[in-house]
Structure 1
Amino acid sequence: MSGLEAFAGIGLDAVAAAADLQTRVDTKYLLASDAYRRFRGHLAAGGDWACLDIGGRRRFSYESVYFDTPDLLTYRQHRQGRRRRFKVRTRLYADSGECAFEVKVKGARQDTVKERLPYTAADAARITPEAAEHLAATLWKAYGMAVPPGLEARLRTDYRRHTLVNAAAGVRVTCDEDLRCVSSAGTAVARPVCLVEVKSARPGGPADRLLWAMGARPVPVSKYCLAVAALSPGMRGNPWARAMRECFPGPG
């Protein structure tokens, strides 16, 4: 047995207490579905991992709206590998209707720091005055910078996620599937592939080592940046070339 039913369930409060990780290192991998099932089976066999379970549900639908300037400043920051870069989005948990406004910045050690604000689902595609204040305070604290003008909703990503948790180690593994990207330019649907993220206080733990032993290697990938590159064929996306080939292969 290697499906999600092989894991004990763990509730959201327990996950938050053990492995909330708002400041963390994210190590990302792209796996074919069969490779991910083997990896998940190894975790299940170890007995140290549980699966996030909310009301008997273990796979959840997410909708993320990303905000950027007209010239896509945040995309360009990521493409250029800028140390002072940030990401602004809302995340809607479609199954429950809960929503959050999130600002992600890089910490002093290049770890990811995520600042969250409870949000109303009806406001998911706009930045409210309260969210604008939260964003301004976060960017000023992180980088001493003001909010760039013209931030508006540019695109949305939809996907399904399940989360595996090693509470004792304070580590989470998320698996995103069925990625769909939508903007005014159109829609792009990714081929069947698993975007796996190991979220931990430091890289190189047992989950990473297991993936390395299976031949997987970390890959730079951002769902927002993939979406921009997929929906704007003329947009340079060199850092994500491998991920683009695996997620959105061109004709032929």
Structure 2
Amino acid sequence: MSAPAGLPALSLEEINERAALVTRTCRKYLVPEEVVDDLFSPARFGVLTIGGRTSFRYSSTYLDTPDLRCFRDHRQGRRLRYKVRVRTYEDTGTRMFEVKLKGARGITDKVRVEHDGSPERLTPATRRFLDDSLTAYGIEPPDVLVPSAVTDYRRATAVALSGEERVTVDTELVGRRGGWSVAMRPGRALLEVKTRGGLTETERRLHALGFREVAFTKYASTLAALEPGFRGNKWHRAMAACLDHPTLERAAA
């Protein structure tokens, strides 16, 4: 599947004008791919289109402390927590350094800056950006960050013309760590509904079809699936429903 079919094309600039939603509530749903087209009406939604393409390849390299503090804080549900990643837009080669901050009331803030360098390490500019972002949020910056996992996937983005919601549709997900990989089963799609309000029309449609919000994150599920001794905890049910068995990609060096 490439993207929701039959929707009017929207440029990135148009989408950001309508629904940037950098500070937002995000809810996730796992659905069969064939359900996706039925969720979006051309009268209400457009689809991100760049150079004639409506779906794009992403690669996110996550950085964490050596003892995986970011993962552990997320698993424990700490009120203040963060994730750090370098996102590579594979179709253009552009890289962005992103810090996702979770605070009170479940609101997510995402701040980011261009990243000029390897996705596996910070540059002086991104180190300063990280320190400033975390300090402003009341979180002590870590001394050291190291690469902890990579997630690759294909994404399409549908946006309500009203600006009420922005829905990303992720398929072909593969998580990697330490020479092992785990993939999403064929025919599955991960929807992320981003909004500043309550349930959206898309979510009400999902509920009517029998789908409910799931606890699932690409990073945490990759670590829980591939790191010996880790437990998925709240992600276990969703992981079991959508992920295949881990696969050894190469022998350890």
Q: What are the ranges of 5 or more consecutive residues in structure 1 without an aligned counterpart?
A: none
Q: TM-score, normalised by structure 2?
A: 0.91
- Once the two structures are overlaid, the 10-residue window that deviates more, 57-66 or 178-187, is 178-187
Match of 1:7 in 2: 7
* Contact preservation (8 Å) 2:154, 2:170: yes
Instruction: Note if 1:90 corresponds to 2:109.
Output: no
Taking the TM superposition and a 5 Å limit, the aligned residue runs for 1:18-37 are 18-34=18-34, 36-37=35-36
1:157-191 residue CA offsets vs partner (Å, 9 max, x unmatched): 00000000113133111110001112224122221
SS in 2 for 1:103: strand
Instruction: Note if 1:44 corresponds to 2:41.
Output: yes
1:198-221 residue CA offsets vs partner (Å, 9 max, x unmatched): 111123121111111111111111
* Contact preservation (8 Å) 1:89, 1:102: yes
Taking the TM superposition and a 5 Å limit, the aligned residue runs for 1:207-218 are 207-218=202-213
Equivalent of 1:200 in 190, 195, 199: 195
Whole-Å separation in 2 of the counterparts to 1:239 and 1:112: 19
Give the superposed CA RMSD. Answer: 1.7
Q: TM-score, normalised by structure 1?
A: 0.91
Q: 1:59: how far off?
A: 0.8
Whole-Å separation in 2 of the counterparts to 1:243 and 1:18: 31
Q: 1:5 to 1:209 in 2, by over 3 A?
A: closer
Whole-Å separation in 2 of the counterparts to 1:198 and 1:4: 14
Match of 2:159 in 1: 165
* Contact preservation (8 Å) 2:80, 2:104: no
Whole-Å separation in 1 of the counterparts to 2:244 and 2:4: 29
Whole-Å separation in 1 of the counterparts to 2:203 and 2:197: 11
Instruction: Note if 1:54 corresponds to 2:61.
Output: no
Q: 1:187 to 1:250 in 2, by over 3 A?
A: closer
Q: 1:249: how far off?
A: 4.5
Amino acid at match of 2:222: A
- Once the two structures are overlaid, the 10-residue window that deviates more, 56-65 or 197-206, is 197-206
Amino acid at match of 1:119: H
Q: Percent identity?
A: 39
Equivalent of 1:131 in 118, 126, 139: 126
Q: 1:199 to 1:213 in 2, by over 3 A?
A: same
Q: What are the ranges of 5 or more consecutive residues in structure 2 without an aligned counterpart?
A: 247-253
Amino acid at match of 2:100: K
Q: 1:250: how far off?
A: 4.9
Match of 2:103 in 1: 107
- Once the two structures are overlaid, the 10-residue window that deviates more, 205-214 or 183-192, is 183-192
Q: 1:74: how far off?
A: 0.6
